[in-house]
């Protein structure tokens, strides 16, 4: 009978400990600030673009650079290009192209973090339909 009481008390203490531990984990996970993919600590997406993409795609996304002409870089400001290439312009496809490379474009998957590549693709998509009327 005495062992039964000890066993019951030990079980109750274990249950209480687990309950408190789980509550602490839940509170900690819900109160921690969450970062969106656009928030990269200490890194500006404009700097990532300028340091990794602009030499071919241009700072304005038009691809009007010597390397852009060499590798036939697309004009991201041209809505017609987006429409004609809709099979590769989804966010997932663009992330894959930046990660693995395509044609003359090098792969950035080993150089940049996935979150950085995602941010670059979102940034690049902002050039869409930015072409000024001629």
Mean pLDDT of all residues in 31-59: 76
CA distance 52 to 32: 32
- Residue identified by tokens 């395509």 is 102
The per-residue pLDDT for 46 is 95
| Cα–Cα distance measured from residue 109 to residue 117, given in angstroms and rounded to the nearest whole number | 8
Q: How much is the pTM?
A: 0.66
Strand partners for 43: 40
Q: What is the pLDDT of residues 60-97, one digit of tens each?
A: 999 999 999 999 999 999 999 999 999 999 999 999 99
pLDDT band at 10 (very low <50, low <70, confident <90, very high): confident
Instruction: Round to whole Å and give the CA distance between 131 and 60.
Output: 10
Rounded Cα–Cα distance for residues 51 and 60 (Å):
13
């Amino acid at each position: 009978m005495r062992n039964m009481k000890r066993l019951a008390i030990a079980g109750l203490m274990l249950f209480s400990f687990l309950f408190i531990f789980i509550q602490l984990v839940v509170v900690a996970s819900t109160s921690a600030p969450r970062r969106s993919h656009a928030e990269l600590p200490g890194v500006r997406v404009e700097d990532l673009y300028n340091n990794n993409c602009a030499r071919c795609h241009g700072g304005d996304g038009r691809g009007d650079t010597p390397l852009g002409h060499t590798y036939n870089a697309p004009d991201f400001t041209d809505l017609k290009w987006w429409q004609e290439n809709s099979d590769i312009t989804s966010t997932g496809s663009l992330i894959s192209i930046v990660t693995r490379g395509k044609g003359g474009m090098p792969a950035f998957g080993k150089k940049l973090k996935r979150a950085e590549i995602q941010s670059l693709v979102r940034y690049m998509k902002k050039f869409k339909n930015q072409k000024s009327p001629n």
